[in-house]
Amino acid sequence: MSHFCYNRGCQKRYTPTNDAAKDDNACQYHPGLPYFHDAYKIWSCCQKKSHDFSAFLSMPGCTRGSHQPNKPEEPIAPQPAEQEQVAVPKPVIRQEIPKPIVPTVDRPPMDAPLTQMKLTVAASLKAALEKQVNTPTADGNQKEQNTNVIKPGTACKHATCAALYTTADQEQITSCRFHPGVPIFHEGMKYWSCCQKKTTDFEAFTAQPGCTEGEHLWRVEDQSSKNEDDPQVLKSSCRFDFHQQGSTVVLSIYAKMPRPDQTQVELNAGRLKVDTRFGTDMQKKRFLNEWELFGLVDVAQSTVELLQSKIEIILKKAEPLSWSRLDRPLQLT
């Protein structure tokens, strides 16, 4: 009878052999925990890291041992200490001070014109782009030769698909269930942009079955023209998230090596549009997305900075409102 292994980096089905010498070294896994820092995904046990989430999940384990058929228990949250009963003082009636009147700001119509934002380019990005221009590229014929060969045992590049390539007929035998979106980590929640199933547990997040069925992706093609005609792919070609800092909202788009001459950020009081090309000359991508913002912003006091690892957009709030999300929920009529 087959079992499912819950070790990180393995998570495959296996059948015990009842041979202690084999079973004790049958599992290749990561004993550490994953953590995320500056757009990198890193295993704490071996410090292997990657920008690409699918490549990170498919990294072979750094330790061998026995399979783990039992799901590890989730840490128990500490119970709050019982509070001693204290005498509740009688309420004191106070004269209510009227709240200051906050001027309301009207949301502009959807077709209102957008203002093209000034881009501030970090010195580190300028230096990295200059270095890239002066670095000779690899031989194109050798690259084409390498990408046309699929070796047996190659893992499917689609997120959460654990299939391994055996023969060309495998496409007709096994289907590929995967997530076409990108992983998003925001305020402790982990979810895929394509299906929005949220969880706080990383193990549960990586074990979520794909929301789309299609063909396996055994090799990654040149990204420079792959996503030019698909709006959904353009929106999900890189990860983004946001956080609040008092009167500002900071949007981080993790487009590594953005091109200043091929980046446009347009904004009005209620809408934001970003169009950028990023990456290396050999593997350039395009990100295009548009948001009807949750709250209203002050365009004149908002800024855009291009960094080596991301695009950072600081939106100045035009009203004292806490944003529960970046985009405004769809208004049903």
The residue with greater pLDDT, 145 or 128, is 128
- Where residue 223 falls among pLDDT bands split at 50, 70, 90? very low
Distances (CA, A) of 286 to 114, 181, 234: 21, 15, 6
Give percent of the chain above pLDDT 90: 25
| Contact by Cβ (8 Å): 256, 284 | no
CA distance 162 to 57: 9
Say whether pLDDT at 80 is over 50: yes
The mean pLDDT value of the chain amounts to 81
Q: Which of 92-106, 191-205, 208-222, 315-329 has the least mean pLDDT?
A: 92-106
pLDDT in tens, 19-72: 777 777 878 888 888 888 887 888 888 888 888 888 888 888 888 888 888 887
pLDDT of residue 145: 47
Given 3.40.50.140, 3.20.20.150, 4.10.1130.20, 3.40.50.170, which CATH number is that of 151-218? Answer: 4.10.1130.20
pLDDT band at 95 (very low <50, low <70, confident <90, very high): low
> Phi/psi of residue 155, each to 5°?
-80, 145
- The full set of domain ranges for the chain reads 3-65, 110-132+223-328, 151-218
Confidence of residue 171 (pLDDT cuts 50, 70, 90): low
The domain made up of 3-65 has a fold known as btk motif of tyrosine-protein kinase itk (4.10.1130)
Q: In which band, very low, low, confident or very high, does the pLDDT at 141 lie, cut at 50, 70 and 90?
A: very low
Q: What is the pLDDT of residue 9?
A: 82
* For range 123-149, the mean pLDDT: 69
**Is pLDDT above 90 for 182?**
no
Instruction: Give the pLDDT band (50/70/90) at residue 119.
Output: very high
Q: Do domains 3-65 and 151-218 have the same CATH topology?
A: yes
Task: Give CATH for domain 110-132+223-328.
Answer: 2.60.40.790
